[in-house]
Amino acid sequence: MKGQTEMKIIKIKKEAWGQGLEKLQSEFRLFGPVADKDGFEFKELAQGQLPVMDLGNTRLSAKSTVYPQTQVMFNYTLDESKEDHHIMKEVDLNGQPQAVIGLRPCDAASFQLVKRNFDNPEYPDPFWVRPYEQSTFVGLACDNPSPTCFCTSVGGGPYSENGLDVLLSREGEVILAKVITEKGEALAKAAGWDTDADENVFDERRDAAEKKITAKINSDQLKGKNANDLFSAPIWEDIAFACLNCGTCTYSCPTCWCFDIQDEVKGTEGKRMRNWDSCMYPLFTLEGSGHNPRPVKEMRVRQRFMHKLKYYPDKYDSDVQCVGCGRCIDLCPVNIDIRDVCETMNNYKPLKSES
């Protein structure tokens, strides 16, 4: 676990913010929300580029900063005149340290949920673990949560420090930074941010922000339910009817981690990469034999919700695999709403209990 530090709050004025970020760029690759057409997304910041800090959450999550949609894992050559032909060579994962600036507490928490999958003792995944370890997460607290934010009912909050090294809170031009970990302390030092704040307004602002969150999910009954009962419940046809089986929910979700491995060869040079995949696609489960265990969309939709709300909590003895960012609700083209699906699952009672 990251080293905890004695809580320290720093005051950063407008000029110091820009100057500090610029200083950081000599040491870190910086990622932050930047304008992209009519929305904004996490991208690597160009030299001197400031992250957008005064709008709501990004359209897509911050997961791409550690786990990009396309990630090369190995390179190889088919040129037989080369000594190492046909040998996979792992890409260098010891890159420059990076800092993700301005991610919201929901996105920060998502890395902690996803970590259970990628950083488990049995199969640690270096392609996720290394970039994650090299990252410092500088979060931005949410003083104006959106109507579809429900982080507080899945263990998070607009001022949650879970998964963060620094938590920022903005008021006008002044930014207050709460340093949470040693990593965060090192970043603040490298940026030259060292003016102690005279007051701690975090608790007060947290209470005010939490009060603004009106959306919620109820998952309290799910743990006690039999997974097979839910699996065979007659609820899925109705839930799934509208679904187009596009990948919008999974691609925008900070906690969806599935990928597909592909080789691409151009001339004699090849690369093996992984790309985000989606359990909404028929190809996701299509086997080499031609058999597909999830041939129809009801099954695929059921898989997504069962994984997030039932299998994951059961497997890891944890809360649901959802951080309440609300993106899938906002972006679903046919308005399938995880809050409603969770409610249906939570209230479901089998006609004849098998237990």
Partner 1 sequence: MLTYAEKIRELSAQLLREDKVDMVIGFRKGSLPMSNEPCMVKNPGDADKLVWDSNCGVNLASYLTDRKERIGIIAKGCDSRNINTHIIENKIKREQLTIIGVPCTGMIDKRKVSNSVDFDIIEVIEEADKVIVKGAGSEQTFDKKEVLRKNCEVCIHPNPVVYDEMVAEKVDINQDVDRYADVREVEEMDSDDRWQYFEDLLSNCIRCYACRNACPLCYCPTCFVDESQPQWLGKSTNATDTRGFHFLRAYHCAGRCTDCGSCETVCPMGINMRAFTKKLEKDCLENFEWQAGLNTEQRPPLDSFNPSDPDAFVK
The residues binding partner 1 (CB under 8 A) are 36-39, 41, 56, 59-60, 69-70, 144, 146-148, 238, 241-242, 244-248, 251-252, 260, 262, 264, 273, 275, 278, 281-283, 329-331, 333-337, 339-340
Tell me how far, at minimum, the Cβ of 329 lies from partner 1, in Å. Answer: 7
Measured from the CB atom, the residue of 248 and 255 that comes closer to partner 1 is 248
Measured from the CB atom, the residue of 9 and 233 that comes closer to partner 1 is 233
Measured from the CB atom, the residue of 121 and 267 that comes closer to partner 1 is 267
**Smallest Cα–Cα separation from 261: which of 250, 274, 248?**
274
DSSP character string of 254-308: TT---EEEEEEEETTEEEEEEEE--TTSGGGT--TTS--SS-SHHHHHHHHHHII
Q: Under a CB-based contact definition with an 8 Å cutoff, are residues 11 and 202 in contact? A: no
Tell me how far, at minimum, the Cβ of 53 lies from partner 1, in Å. Answer: 17
Instruction: Convert 102-133 to b/e letters by CB count within 10 Å (16 or more is b).
Output: bbbbbbbbbbbbbbebbbeeeeebebbebbbe
Measured from the CB atom, the residue of 138 and 256 that comes closer to partner 1 is 256
**Smallest Cα–Cα separation from 230: which of 313, 153, 155?**
313
Q: Which helix (H) or strand (E) holds 32?
A: strand 29-36
Q: What's the rounded Cα separation, in Å, for the pair 236 and 312?
A: 19
Measured from the CB atom, the residue of 87 and 334 that comes closer to partner 1 is 334
Tell me how far, at minimum, the Cβ of 121 lies from partner 1, in Å. Answer: 30
Tell me how far, at minimum, the Cβ of 234 lies from partner 1, in Å. Answer: 12
Tell me how far, at minimum, the Cβ of 282 lies from partner 1, in Å. Answer: 7
Strand-pairing partners, residue 230, are: none
Tell me how far, at minimum, the Cβ of 276 lies from partner 1, in Å. Answer: 8
Measured from the CB atom, the residue of 21 and 154 that comes closer to partner 1 is 154
